[in-house]
Amino acid sequence: MTSQASHLTEAPEDAEPATRHTAEPEVARGRRRRPWKVVLPLVVLGVLAYLPYVAAELPGILPGRVNGPGSMQLLATCLVVAGIALSYDVLFGRTGLLSFGHALFVASGSYLLTISLSTWSLPLPAAVALALIASTVLSLVVGAVALRVGGIAFAMVTLAFAQAASIIVMRNPGGVTGGEEGKVLDRDAVPALLVGVANAPYRYWLALGFVVLAWVVVTLLIGSRAGRAMAAVRENESRAAVLGLGTYRVKLLAIVVASVLGALGGIVHALVLGGSNPHLTTSEFTLSLLVMVVLGGAGSRWGALLGGFLYAYADARLVEVSGAAWLEPLPEVVRQVLSQPLFILGVLFIVVVYFAPSGLTGLGGRLIRKAGSS
């Protein structure tokens, strides 16, 4: 399994080194760069946190003012998807596990929250706790079963679990899931600051808070013994087993951490969008997460976030482009092709993977190093 995914997870910028035996000059250079690893995330966080106070317009980029309701809702959705992509990178980029069932845990967090609030009338803290605990138990069950096999069989087992959950949601047992229409969130059970068009900035800050939390968790994981064990499993699982690592426990831990973060992302997604969408249960959503991670750079925190944000943004904005007036003079065949957002996204993905196989962050890192050496 890990060997099949290794060509897509090559040399991420923030990955742990395979060995501690590093030359002294390299250590010194790493120490000089270390402040930027702290300063850069804080600068980015400060800029993002200040956006709800920016009244400027960015025509063609955002729908109206930056702090307008439409722009805030779009940015909040992109941030949530970026955080969910980071959770999937724990599996694929950090541990080398190709899972087709990550949507199951995102959907479990989302639907358990909405059902708990709208059907069972639980208070919000209890609903969040229930969704996270149930998703953790579910991840343990799915992981224990799926890890009995490896390679493509592991991916198929996870896909089977996700498909079963999708069928259950679509059949709407007892009317609790809403079927194809989804499940609407009970607004009376949610704080007033998260409800209404005028409160879009607060939902944006909630999404930003989720991204920060996911970043912190993944950062702590990378620097821990468990994170280094995951990197060892990703690089060579057989060698890691020979060295005495419990590879089964390491992979199960990766599944649990990724699933809990994904479930938390589903919870925030439901709060931001005001309900649960059945699209979260589909294998298409998991494949989208895979595309996001590879697009940004597998095994890189910045890569997963960037890929997830850009993919969600393009998916939303290309719908408007597909109906633009400038397409009318074009030939019918060309107009029909360009009116399909998924086709455009697919072409962009192929171009990025062809010219930057290590993702956008890998390409950016190479360009920066090349500029610094010239």
Q: Tens-of-pLDDT digits for all 374 residues of the chain?
A: 444 454 444 444 454 444 444 344 444 444 445 677 778 889 999 999 999 999 999 988 898 899 999 999 999 999 999 999 999 999 999 999 999 999 999 999 999 999 999 999 999 999 999 999 999 999 999 999 999 998 899 999 999 999 999 999 999 998 899 999 999 999 899 999 999 999 999 999 999 999 999 999 999 999 999 999 999 999 999 999 988 889 999 999 999 999 999 999 999 999 999 999 999 998 889 889 999 999 999 989 999 999 999 999 988 887 776 666 666 677 777 667 766 777 777 888 888 888 888 888 887 777 777 776 76
Amino acid at 144: A
Task: Please name which of 340, 356, 359, 316 lies closest in space to residue 79, comparing C-alpha atoms.
Answer: 316
Domain count, the chain: 1
CB 131 within 8 A of CB 108: yes
**C-alpha 159: how far from chain center:** 18
Q: What is the CATH number of the domain that holds 41?
A: 1.10.3470
| Residue 351 to residue 222: CA distance in whole angstroms | 30
Q: Domain range holding 118?
A: 2-373
Amino acid at 260: V
Q: Enter the pTM of the model.
A: 0.87
Task: Please name which of 146, 147, 15 lies closest in space to residue 90, comparing C-alpha atoms.
Answer: 15
